[in-house]
Amino acid sequence: MVDEKKSRFRDPERTRERLLQAGFREVYRSGFQSASIDAILAATNVTKGALYHHFENKDALGYAIVEEVVAKFPRDRWLLPLQRSQDKDPIDALIHIVRAIPARPRDVKGGCPLVNLAQEMSQLDEQFRKRLQKIFHAWQEGIAVALRRGQYQGTVRRDLVPDETAGFLIAMVEGYEVLAKNSQDPKAWKAGIRNIVGWLTSLRATHQSGRGGRRLSKKRVVRPRRRF
């Protein structure tokens, strides 16, 4: 036991990461305002002095949770897959991402960590709001970049405004996650996936050709004249 304690103190980065992960679980379960420092310490077997060595106060811990844990969800599930699929149709990439979002009962029960904190803290703490806004902005911009690339390649409709379309997609995803959380029924999210995929499919360009997305003219059908 003594050696284990010494190893924890000798590895401050590991201790900090354990506090972050335990803090995230507690905030996800109870909300930030109701989150218990004692519960976080009990889950990590870390002293209060060690916690405040890494984080000045509970707010500082909360900000770090947003920046280092919550921000990973849209980054890992959306931004990195979009970056890795730059040579592919962005609509196909977005559909794949949406279909891969977890729909297990435990995921539906807790809802989206980003939305949970935005709903709880945006009006109460400006530092929380700014950090959450930064995550939403990066998420929206990442989708917009993919859509602009698709417009250039001729696979995405040219009449779309990428920034607005990206914001609408995020609103749909988060809205359906809230509906699923409220109903506590994975079927609500699965219905959302079907509707979002259908909407994404409608963003595909039609009668497009090559880069720049110039519209092709339809071939004129010449019908033979009837002879009487």
**Rounded alpha-carbon distances, angstroms, from residue 76 to 160, 201, 207, 208:** 26, 23, 34, 31
As a whole number, mean pLDDT of residues 68-84 equals 96
- Which CATH code for domain 2-64? 1.10.10.60
Q: How far apart are CA 68 and CA 165, in angstroms?
A: 27
Q: b/e map of 178-207 (b: 16 or more CB within 10 Å)?
A: bbbbeeeebebbeebbeebeeebeebebee
- Give the domain ranges of the chain: 2-64, 71-206
Taking only the tens place, the pLDDT of each residue in 80-91 is: 999 999 889 999
Q: What is the SS3 assignment for 164?
A: helix
- pLDDT tier at 53 (50, 70, 90 boundaries)? very high
- pLDDT of residue 3 exceeding 90, the answer is no
CATH topology of domain 71-206: Tetracycline Repressor; domain 2 (1.10.357)
pLDDT at 10 over 90: no
Confidence at residue 207, expressed as pLDDT on a 0 to 100 scale: 55
With both helix axes pointing from N to C terminus, report the angle between 90-100 and 126-153 in degrees, rounded to the nearest 10: 140
